[in-house]
Structure formats: C-alpha cells, structure tokens
Chain A
C-alpha cells in the first residue's frame, strides 16, 4: 500500500518523541551553560607550564631547551633562553626561559609539545571557556599566564600526574645517589678541594663541580 513506509517511519518518530517523556535516555540534549557534562580525564586544549613549590618564577620546570618550539607543528611557541642560570626547585642552577609565549589563536591543541618535552615541564590544560575581547594581547599568553602549580596538574589529570611525579622522584633519587657516591669518592681521595654548593644566580655557563 502506498504510504505504508512513510507511516512506519512516522511511528518510529512518534515512539522517540513520546518515549522521551518516560525514558530519560531518550533526552540526549544537554542544556549547555546551565548543565555541564563531566570532562574526560584525557581532555586537552591548551598547554601550561608546570612549576614546583610556591614561587612560580623559581619553580618552573622549563629550562628553555626550545625542543617544543622546534617541534610545534603550527609554530605557536616562542622562547628566549636566558643567558644566566637560576637555582630551580631543588636548588640546582639551571637555564630558564627569559620569554615563553604561546599564541593561543595559533595553537591547535595537538599535544606534540608535551610529548617531546624531556623535563615534563609543559602539560595540557582542560579549561575551555577562554573567549576574550582583546584578540592580540588576550590570546598571546606569556609565561606568567602559562605557569600553573603541579597541584593544578594533579587536579586536571590525576593518573598521568601521579605517574609523572613517580618518574621524576625516581630520577631525582638516582641523581642524588650518584652525587653522594661521587662525594664519597672525593672525600676518601686526596684533600677535599671541591667548592661548596654553587652560589645562586651564577653568571655565565661555568660548571658547578
């Protein structure tokens, strides 16, 4: 009979419409600004710089090695490496990024910078409501805006952050053990001519031991 197929389709539509009154699963729309879905843990949008401790300038893990700048596919990262060294969170003198800018309007949230970073210094954030009326300054984020504490990293990606912290602690323990062994070897050998811990903000590229 002509029209049978159309009637069959309409019954299907009616079933969905009436079903939405009894079955919550059929109401699939989320009324966004009022209702929000929980974000998946792996969600990523823009990068941030992780720092340890309280002071963001002292605690930045980034050493300005510029690997992420080179690997970034759309080239949205701009880094100027410092000429001097500053002590990092554990007191070891390190280079630091004098300038670290990310152009958020260019960034395509691909996470390549996170993967290539050998220091676990750059990670992906999950904040997404970032619209601004200033399209130049408001979208070019400097390191003050990018720096976020390690606690924030634990908050947005708990599993991943725990893994990274474990790995960093292991590396640090290994380095400490090595330094200790070297110090012991030195004390047992001739007079201890080794200088004390390097003074902070030692200029130039002088080695520390």
Chain B
C-alpha cells in the first residue's frame, strides 16, 4: 500500500482491485467514482482522493465510449459522416449536423438558401431548449430532488422531440442537415405546432422557477460552490454556458455571426460569481433568449428553396483545401476541422468537442469541496460522453 498521494494515483489505473484503498498515515481515501454511476452521465470515471469529506485530488478518466469517430469519418464519404455526427452529443444531434455541414460548406463553397438558414436556426434553438431543460432536470436530480424537476423538464423536452420527429423522422438521431441546406422541407402544419410549443414554453420556465428558484436547500447547495474564476475559464479553453456563468462575454452566435444570427435581437446572459447557482441560472436565462430568437425566426421565415442546387448527393468531391466551421452548440464551441485532398473522403477530420474541453477544469472547480458537491459541480458542466470519447 502506497503512502504518498503521488504514488497512489497511478496504482488506481492498474485494475479494479487497487481502485479503493485507505492510506492510514495521512488519512487520505482514494475512491473510484464510476464508470457505472448514476451521476456520471454515461460511462465516466473520477479518481477522487478525499481527506475526510474534502476533495484533495480529482482525476477524470474517460475513453470507455471511444468509437473511432474521426478515423471512421476519414475512411467514408463526406455524406456518410452526417449520421455519425448525430451520435457525438446525442442530446443535440441537429446542432452537430449544423457544425459539420457548416465546415463542409466552407470547404466546398456552397451557399445556403435563406429558408434553410431559418430552418437551421429554428432547429438549433429548439435543440438548445431541450438540452438545457434536461440538463437542469438532471442537475436537480443529482442534488436530491429526485423525480419531480426532471419529469417536468422531460415533459417539455418531449414536445420538442415530437417536433423533431415530425420534421426529420427521428426523435434524437435526426440526420437532417445537408451540405448546402436541409434534407426535406417543413411538413404541413409544422410551423403552427412549433409556434404553439414556443408560446407555451415560458409557462414551464415560470413553473420551474417557482418550483425551485427560491428553495433554501437549492440555494445552500449551489451558491458559492464550485467557483470557476474567469481567468481560469479562459486559460482552460472553456466555452458555452459555463464560461458565460463566470462573467466572460463570449458567445459564438455574437462573435462569429454564422448563419443568419445577426438578424435576431437577443441578449447574452452573463453570470457574476461563476458558481453552480450561476451556471444553473444562466441556462434558465438562455432558454428565455432562445425563445426570443425562435419567436422572431418562426414569424420571419418565408417559402423558398431549401438546398443549394450545386450541392450533390452522389459523387461529392470538394476541391483540395481546409476549413474549420464552428457553432455555439448548447454545450459550447463545437467545431469541425476538415482537410480535403480532392477525394470523396476527407483527408483529415477533427472534432473540437465542447464537453471534453470543458471537463479539463473539473478538478480546479472541485478541489476543497465535498464529494456530494463534486457530483453537482460535475452536473453543471453538462457533458455527454458520446462527445467526450468520440
């Protein structure tokens, strides 16, 4: 049995037999949280060293869900990778489709028609709504509010998934965006159904806020817990709601203005303290801003073509070159870097997954807090293991 912390950490990777051990001299306890733990959002393991109840060292261990996504994409055609991008962050398949389509459009120089741009914005913002709803639902579940908040969130998410099913044919693995536009046009009556869902959504947000926002237990467990200083967030390359909860004004929808986001009037909510409570509230506020964008987009959309006539389904070969397309996915900056050598397959295909890079600051946020808070802090990062491991 090892005596120092440094010596005990590598031993944790040798096998499950060494996963839990007690160090009698320094009273440090090393435990392995996961990979099959209800709070780890998939197959993810944390090697935690505890001093009493306080975390003194935390090491994320992942790779259990590695599927060789990038290498598979390099050995198949550009088109055949779209269904695989659905499976990166399986909560937000439409956002993933968009990021990949955006980088291929940059590579091949395709122009997206206006109606398709509107459909993309609508799809991406609906995705953001359902992702944030389930994220805060799971977060409450991890804090011990078992059932009720999660069920309320899933009730709303269900309505959005119904919209996805009517539009794309699938609830989660949408496979909808194509290079230069979208696969099919909106079905009849879809816009009305979407407007109805968007109009009813604030009721859920109000309900959720009165359910929990002033709950004393929630405030005690979230305020001042897991603080992420803005400087560390920037150094760690953190993006998305976590970065904005720390008070850094960085939203790719505003910075990059991809698609037609400059047409919409919306604000970027910013946090002040960078603690768990801010990260929870930022998602509630972002949902309200998404509703504003959706309301404008659903009323501005006009009929027209949905795909660039130059886009080819069979025999698609972009000219040699490289491109990086990025979007503000619900979890942060999702980017695809592609190099084409003129063949039907990409020469290099690289994903910049927000979940993985946001995970790098987990240890800094958790040091000094209790093990129960570690689970909550981890929940606010909002990772999906399909994207972390690829």
User: Whole-angstrom distance from the CB of B154 to the nearest CB of chain A?
Assistant: 9
User: Whole-angstrom distance from the CB of B76 to the nearest CB of chain A?
Assistant: 6
Are B170's CB and A44's CB within 8 A? yes
| Smallest CB gap from A72: residue in B | B80
**8 A Cβ contacts from A33-70 to B:** 40-44, 67
**8 A Cβ contacts from B204-236 to A:** 207, 210-219
| Smallest CB gap from B163: residue in A | A40
**8 A Cβ contacts from A132-168 to B:** 159
Are A9's CB and B170's CB within 8 A? no
Are A118's CB and B170's CB within 8 A? no
Task: Give the distance in Å from the alpha carbon of A43 to the alpha carbon of B215 in the complex.
Answer: 41
* B103 on the A face (CB < 8 A): no
User: Whole-angstrom distance from the CB of A60 to the nearest CB of chain B?
Assistant: 21
Instruction: From known contacts A40-B166, A110-B173, infer whether A13 and B80 are also in contact, taking CB-CB under 8 Å.
Output: no
Are B166's CB and A28's CB within 8 A? no
Task: Give the distance in Å from the alpha carbon of A2 to the alpha carbon of B155 in the complex.
Answer: 30
Tally chain A residues at the interface, Cβ within 8 Å: 30
User: Please, which residues of chain A bring their CB within 8 A of the CB of B166?
Assistant: 40-42
Are A71's CB and B184's CB within 8 A? no
* A73 on the B face (CB < 8 A): yes
Are A8's CB and B168's CB within 8 A? no
| Smallest CB gap from B73: residue in A | A73
User: Please, which residues of chain A bring their CB within 8 A of the CB of B84?
Assistant: 73
Instruction: From known contacts A42-B184, A43-B165, infer whether A109 and B173 are also in contact, taking CB-CB under 8 Å.
Output: yes
Task: Give the distance in Å from the alpha carbon of A111 to the alpha carbon of B97 in the complex.
Answer: 15
Q: Is the interface of B mostly helix, strand, loop or mixed?
A: helix
Are B313's CB and A115's CB within 8 A? yes
Instruction: From known contacts A12-B207, A42-B184, infer whether A5 and B214 are also in contact, taking CB-CB under 8 Å.
Output: yes
Task: Give the distance in Å from the alpha carbon of A115 to the alpha carbon of B217 in the complex.
Answer: 53
User: Whole-angstrom distance from the CB of B238 to the nearest CB of chain A?
Assistant: 30
Task: Give the distance in Å from the alpha carbon of A3 to the alpha carbon of B219 in the complex.
Answer: 12
* A124 on the B face (CB < 8 A): yes
Q: Which of B77, B168, B211 contacts A12 (CB 8 A)?
A: B211
Are A71's CB and B79's CB within 8 A? yes
* A129 on the B face (CB < 8 A): no
Instruction: From known contacts A73-B84, A111-B175, infer whether A44 and B169 are also in contact, taking CB-CB under 8 Å.
Output: yes
Instruction: From known contacts A73-B80, A108-B83, A109-B170, infer whether A6 and B313 are also in contact, taking CB-CB under 8 Å.
Output: no
* A112 on the B face (CB < 8 A): yes
Indicate the size class of the contact surface on chain B.
35 or more
* A4 on the B face (CB < 8 A): yes
Instruction: From known contacts A6-B217, A42-B167, A43-B169, infer whether A71 and B77 are also in contact, taking CB-CB under 8 Å.
Output: yes
Chain B positions 152 through 187: 1 when the CB is less than 8 Å from some CB of chain A, otherwise 0: 100100100010011111100101000000011001
Are B175's CB and A42's CB within 8 A? no
User: Whole-angstrom distance from the CB of B382 to the nearest CB of chain A?
Assistant: 23
Q: Which of A8, A42, A67, A72 contacts B214 (CB 8 A)?
A: A8
* B146 on the A face (CB < 8 A): no
* B314 on the A face (CB < 8 A): yes
User: Whole-angstrom distance from the CB of B318 to the nearest CB of chain A?
Assistant: 17
* B374 on the A face (CB < 8 A): no
Instruction: From known contacts A12-B210, A73-B80, A116-B314, infer whether A108 and B173 are also in contact, taking CB-CB under 8 Å.
Output: yes
Task: Give the distance in Å from the alpha carbon of A116 to the alpha carbon of B316 in the complex.
Answer: 11
User: Whole-angstrom distance from the CB of B192 to the nearest CB of chain A?
Assistant: 15
Task: Give the distance in Å from the alpha carbon of A73 to the alpha carbon of B217 in the complex.
Answer: 48
Are B183's CB and A112's CB within 8 A? no
Task: Give the distance in Å from the alpha carbon of A40 to the alpha carbon of B188 in the complex.
Answer: 12
User: Please, which residues of chain A bring their CB within 8 A of the CB of B343?
Assistant: none
Chain B positions 75 through 108: 1 when the CB is less than 8 Å from some CB of chain A, otherwise 0: 0110111111010000000000000000000000
Interface residues of B (CB under 8 A from A): 76-77, 79-84, 86, 148, 152, 155, 158, 162, 165-170, 173, 175, 183-184, 187, 207, 210-219, 313-314
- Given contact pairs A9-B215, A71-B79, A115-B79, enumerate 14 new A-B contacts (beta carbons under 8 Å): A2-B216, A4-B216, A6-B215, A6-B216, A13-B148, A40-B165, A42-B165, A43-B170, A71-B314, A110-B83, A110-B86, A111-B169, A112-B175, A116-B79
